[in-house]
Amino acid sequence: MNLNNQKRTFQMKLRPLYLLIVACFCLFNGKLSAQNYQPSPENLEARAWFQDARFGLFVHWGVYSILGDGEWVMNNQNISVEEYEKLPSFFNPIDFDAKEWVAMVKEAGMKYITITSRHHDGFSMFDTQMTDYDIVDRTPYGKDVLKALAEECRKQGIKLFFYYSLLDWNRDDYFPRGRTGNGIQGRGEGKWEDYIAFMKGQLKELLTNYGEIGGIWFDGHWDQNEWDGKTFGDVKLDWHYDEIYGMIHKMQPQALIGNNHHIGIIEGEDFQMFEKDLPGKNTTGWGTPADQIGSVPLEVCQTINGSWGFNLQDRKHKTDKELIHYLIKAAGYGSNLLLNVGPMPNGKIQPKHKASLKTMGAWLKDHGDTIYGTQKGPIPPNDDFVSTQKGKSVFVHLLNPNVKVIHADEVPVRIKGIYDMKTNTKLPYRNDGFGLAIDVSKIDKDAIDTIIRIELR
């Protein structure tokens, strides 16, 4: 063996050791590099739970609710920092009752709540030591509403997630500033690294003081992207996601991370969210393209009217039918629905919204089997019908009562029988090279949803 060969053999023997050292270095050099993210068993279990849950309540609540003009009011009305900082002194939600909120959520058939801990206005709705610009220090109410909610959620078996804004219109250290809030007077210029440290400190508190949480729902990433009306450009600075995500996963392995950045998932994220659009759709202009949908659980967030935060003049309340259809469609796209309400400044949910949630809950009581714990079905969704599946049952939700024959491409499954779920009547069908056709012309259609069950072999 010549010297070169000897050297090569030696190198080959050492190669596995070398790779191991490199892998260890990547894992333990402080940063949990995104590329190395392996969800823990607790995290995978939480993902499975989340995927089965299918329905949650989104809550946008902050001092902005006083002005009754949505959560972007500071930006939209160009309210200066000094002026906006007067708002907390008027915020006194004496009618807030966590028990009532959680009971409402349960009755709606929802399994979790995602609430704004701090929105873009920078005001913290929880007791934080990282700033005194928070509900405990600055409002006459003086109590931590997230604490009350966390305790009640635990009692009633509902999971709690925290929405957390990455962007901030109040703090000087949110600098360089992003695309929004530039008409707000009184914003200073601080250091980005201080801002990152502030966020990490707050997130640590959210992960320490509220027991086991469902996860963190980030928003505002897009503030630092160029936006040409169609696409987001490159992000301009470092959000330190590797450290932030790594910290969350280390502190609470079961906590799921999602980020409303409208792009494909960044490693370290556990679910993917879609804002006001079903996965792959783009009616808003910022919908995530279909080819960027990952293999993690999905969640669509949607408003119950047209606003996230309380908006006094919003009359675009969705009808009960529209809301139930959205829930069904989301499930047909393999996604959860996170349906939003904006509580009023007194802490109450608008009666109209409460009534809609109740109706949805009643519908789910009867038909929840075809929604909870399902996956998207084998028949691709369209405006007239969507399908969900649980084991050997496929549920076709017929949303358009005028359809006489359900047509789709041939479904690559072996069918035992097809039934109208309400009457258990067997329906004529064919499923061959010409496609799938189910004759629903003879059955009574429901105005909201006629459910057809396909039994598979």
Closest separation in Å from C-beta 222 to ligand GLC: 7
Taking CA 325 as the corner, what is the angle to CA 319 and CA 329, rounded to the nearest 5 degrees?
Answer: 150
Number of residues engaging ligand GLC in binding (CB under 6 A) = 8
Any idea of the CA torsion for 76, 79, 81, 84, to the nearest 10 degrees?
-100
Cβ neighbour number for residue 340 with a 10 Å cutoff: 20
What's the rounded Cα separation, in Å, for the pair 308 and 341? 7
Which of 64, 66, 71, 335 lies at the binding interface for ligand GLC (CB under 6 A)?
71
Contact 317, 356 (CB under 8 A): yes
Residue 63 CB, nearest approach to ligand GLC (Å)? 14
Residues 6+ apart with CB under 8 A from 163: 58, 60, 114, 115, 116, 117, 119, 217, 219
Question: For residues 69 and 275, which CB has a smaller minimum distance to ligand GLC in the complex?
Answer: 275
**60 vs 240 by CB, closer to ligand GLC:** 60
Q: Which of 452, 445, 356 is nearest to 400 (CA)?
A: 445
How far is Cα 242 from Cα 363, in angstroms, rounded to an integer?
Answer: 42
Tell me how far, at minimum, the Cβ of 301 lies from ligand GLC, in Å.
Answer: 5
Cβ-based nearer residue to ligand GLC, 254 or 350: 350
Q: Provide, rounded to whole angstroms, the least separation between the CB of residue 273 and ligand GLC.
A: 8
Q: Which is nearer to ligand GLC, 72 or 133 (CB)?
A: 72
CB of 264 or CB of 417, closer to ligand GLC = 264
Residue nearest to ligand GLC (CB): 275
Nearest distance in Å: CB 345, ligand GLC: 17
Which amino acid type is present at position 392? Answer: K
CA distance 124 to 164: 10
Q: Exactly one of 91, 126, 274, 308 binds ligand GLC (CB under 6 A); which one?
A: 308
Would you say 256 or 406 has its CB closer to ligand GLC? 256
* DSSP letter for each residue of 110-157: --EEEEEEE-TT--BSS--SS-S-BHHHHSSS-S-HHHHHHHHHHHHT
- Distance separating alpha carbons of residues 101 and 354, to the nearest angstrom: 10
Please, what is the minimum distance in Å from the beta carbon of residue 457 to ligand GLC? Answer: 42
Out of 114, 252, 260, 272, the residue judged to bind ligand GLC by CB under 6 A: 260
* Subset of residues 383 to 412 that bind ligand GLC, contact rule: CB under 6 A: none
On the 0-12 / 13-18 / 19+ scale of CB atoms within 10 A, 403 is middle
- Which residues, numbered 158-217, are part of the site for ligand GLC (CB under 6 A)? none
Residue placing its CB nearer to ligand GLC in the complex, 125 or 438? 125
Coil, strand or helix at 99: helix
Is 301 an interacting residue with respect to ligand GLC (CB under 6 A)? Answer: yes
Closest to 149 in 3D by CA, of 177, 126, 169: 126
> Closer CB to ligand GLC, residue 195 or residue 286?
286
- Contact code string over 44-63 relative to ligand GLC, x by CB under 6 A: ----------------x---
Question: Minimum distance between the CB of residue 317 and ligand GLC, rounded to whole angstroms?
Answer: 18
Q: Is-cis flag, bond preceding 176, omega within 30?
A: yes
Instruction: Return the number of the residue (342 or 377) whose C-beta is nearest ligand GLC.
Output: 342
Residue 68 beta carbon to ligand GLC: minimum distance, rounded to whole angstroms: 15
Site for ligand GLC in 264-293 (CB under 6 A): 275
Q: Are 121 and 163 in contact (CB under 8 A)?
A: no
The residue ranges that bind ligand GLC (CB under 6 A) are 60, 71-72, 219, 260, 275, 301, 308
